[in-house]
Amino acid sequence: MTALEPGDATVAPADLPVPELPGQGGVLGPVHRALSIGIVSVVLLIAFEATAVGTAMPVAARELHGIPLYAFAFSAYFTTSLFAMVLSGQWADRNGPLAPLTTGIAAFAAGLVLSGTAGTMALFILGRAVQGLGGGLVIVALYVTISRAYPERLRPSIMAAFAASWVIPSVVGPLASGTVTEHLGWRWVFLGIPVLIVLPLALALPAIRRMASGPADASAPAITFDRRRIRLALGISLGAALLQYAAQDLRPLSLLPAVAGVAFLVPAVLGLLPAGTWRAARGLPAVILLRGVSAGSFIAAESFVPLMLVAERGLSPTMAGLSLAAGGLTWALGSYVQSRPRMEPYRARLMTGGMVLVAAAIGGAPTVLIHSVPVWIVAVAWGVGCLGMGLVLASTSVLLLKLSAPEEAGLNSAALQISDGLSNVLMLAIGGAAFAALGGGSVGGHAVSTATGSHPTAFAAVFLPMAAVALAGVWVATRVRPART
C-alpha cells in the first residue's frame, strides 16, 4: 500500500517524524556526524567507481578479447541491480537497513575483485553482475537509513551531500582512472576500491546499528518476504536484459527477444510500482514517475554528448569529456538550493522549473550539429541541465521519504530506484536503437562501440525524443503534491 494515494485519508507519514533530540544540530552535529561522514563516504567511493570504471572498460574489453560483449559489461550491472533493489526494500523494511547494506557492500567489493582478476570477458561480466547486486542492495538500504535516522528537516541536506559527493569523482575520476590504467594496468582500477571502503564502514555501521536497526515498529507483527514481488523483480531484470540485447542487434530476429522482454516487463512494472504511477497520479506515484522521466531522458542524452562532439566537431575524447565536467558543480548547486529550509514551501515549483531546464538543455545540445554554432554551447547547456537535475532528483528523494510511512520506506525507495534504473535502461536502448538504425553505429552502456562518418540525423534522433520526454516531465512535476482530502 502506498502513502497518500489520491483520496486517501490515511495519516500522512509527515505526521510521524523521526524524533528531534536536544542539541543534535545539522547533519554534522554530534548525533549524526559519524553516520553522515560514513554514508557520504560510501557514496563517494561508489561514485569514483562509476566514473573510473567507464574509463578503464574499453582497455579491459580489448585485453580480454571481449569487444563484441562490451555492452553486456554495462547491462549486466543494471540488470541485476533492478532485482536487488526490490530485495533490499523488503529486507530493510523487515529487519532494518543494516543487513542489506553490509551484504550489498560485500557483494559490490566481491564483484570488483572478480572483474579485476578476470581472465576472460565472461568472468568480467559476471563480476559486473555481482557488483550490480551489491549496488542495488546498498542504494535502497541507504534511503531507509536516512528515513529512520534523520528528522525530516535534515533530509534535504543529506541528499544534497550525496549529490555533492559526485562532484570530485566526476571531474577527477576519469583522469585518475586513465593514469592508473596507463601506468599500473586496468585491473587496479577495480582492485583498489574495495580496500578504501573499510574506513567509511567503520564509521557508518555502528551508527546505523544504533539509530536505524531492526523493524520500523518493533511492536507490529513481523513483515514477511513477499514472494510475488521477488518473482516480479526477476521478471523485470530478465525483461530489461532481453530488451537491451534486442536493441544492440537490429536484425529481424531481434524482435523475438524484444517481444519477450516486453512480456516480462509490463506485468512486473505494474506490480512493483505504486498504483497510478503510469498516469502520474498525484503524490507518491507522480514522484516515482518523475524520477524515471528525468533520469532516463537526461542520462540517455548525456551518453551521446562526447561522441557527438568527437564525431561531428572533431574534438579529442579528453576535450569532449571535459565539456561535461562543469555539470558536476551545477548539479551540486541545484541540490544545495533545494536543501535550504526557506525553499521547502516552493519544492514543487523548483521541480517544475528544474525539468524546464533539463528539457532546454537536451533540446539545445544538438544545435552544435550546425557547424556555425560554437562548441562551448554544449558545456553551457549541460551545466544548465545539471542544475535542473540537482533540483529535481534530490527533491524526488526528499518527497518520497516524506510521503512514505516508516514501515514502507524500503518498499517505496525500491520503487523509486526501479523507476530510475529501468528508465535508464529503456531510454538508452531506445536511443541506441534509433542511433544505430540511422547509421550512427552500435551503442553499449555509457559508450559507443563504433561510430564512423558523419551522421547528424542519427544524433538528432536521440536528443529530440529525449527532450520531448523531459518536457513531459514538466507536467509530471506539477502533480507531485498529494491531493487534498
Helices 326-339 and 167-183, axial angle in degrees (round to 10): 150
- How high is the pLDDT of residue 215? 67
> Which DSSP state fits 223?
P
Rounded (10°) CA dihedral 283, 284, 285, 290: 90
Under 8 Å between Cβ of 137 and 13? no
Name the one residue in this structure whose C-alpha cell is 523485470: 236
Compute the average pLDDT of residues 370-395.
93
Which residue in 446, 448, 459, 444 sits closest to 244, CA to CA?
A: 444
Under 8 Å between Cβ of 223 and 215? yes
Cell of 371: 557547424
Compute the average pLDDT of residues 164-191.
78
pLDDT at 450 > cutoff 70: no
pLDDT at 21 > cutoff 50: no
- How high is the pLDDT of residue 469? 97
Read off the pLDDT band of 370 (50, 70, 90).
very high
| Calpha distance 460→440 (Å, rounded) | 11
Q: What is the largest CA-CA distance in the chain?
A: 68
Fill in the amino acid letter for 270: L
This prediction has a pTM of: 0.77
- 51-94 pLDDT, tens digit per residue, is 777 667 778 888 898 876 766 777 788 889 989 999 998 898 88
Which residue in 145, 36, 91 sits closest to 406, CA to CA?
A: 145
| Calpha distance 306→324 (Å, rounded) | 8
pLDDT at 254 > cutoff 60: yes
C-alpha triplet 80, 265, 46: angle, nearest 5° = 25
- 265-324 pLDDT, tens digit per residue, is 999 999 999 999 999 999 999 999 999 999 999 988 987 887 788 778 887 766 776 677
- How high is the pLDDT of residue 23? 45
Cell of 234: 526477476
